[in-house]
Amino acid sequence: MALGSKHKADASFSMSSMTDIIFLLLIFFMLTSSFITPSGLNVNLPSSKKSEIVMQKVSVTITKDLQYMVNNQEVNRNALESVLKRELQNGEKGEGVVVLHVDKSVPTEHFVEAAGIATSLNAKVSIATKPADQ
């Protein structure tokens, strides 16, 4: 008398659900990694307790040598307003965001001047900082 089960359990494992999860994770990390756009210039940013990530539309960098850069292209201090106006008009409507990357050794007057120009062009101004060590 044979006491065997007619229904055998299949020991194979389907990888399709695992590949779906990996694919979704890959898409998630690819999308979130594009939110952080580091500045290509070596600027010693000031630190703050809370550092938020802002979608960067136009980047204005002021180095310790008082060189002005708009989106990594060097501009004259006097031409900053016209270049910013052109860059903000090239962007999407209502998305005027200017991120200031100012070296912490730069005098405040240069920072305030750049922020004032961006504000006069109806752009939102954000200051790039690095998180404070806790």
Answer for the pair 84, 117: CB distance below 8 angstroms, yes or no. yes
| Distance in angstroms (rounded) separating the CA atoms of residues 97 and 122 | 9
Summarize pLDDT for 42-78 with one digit per residue, the tens.
666 666 665 555 555 788 888 888 889 888 888 988 8
Give 33-52 pLDDT, tens digit per residue. 766 555 555 666 666 665 55
Digit-coded pLDDT (tens) for 81-95: 888 888 888 766 556
Model pTM score? 0.57
Give the per-residue pLDDT at 42: 63
If DSSP codes are grouped into helix, strand and coil, which group holds residue 105?
coil
pLDDT, mean over the chain: 78
Give residue-wise pLDDT tens across range 20-33.
899 999 998 888 77
Q: Is the pLDDT of residue 16 over 50?
A: yes
User: How far is residue 78's CA from residue 115's CA, in Å, rounded to a whole number?
Assistant: 14
Under the banding of pLDDT at 50, 70 and 90, the label for residue 96 is confident
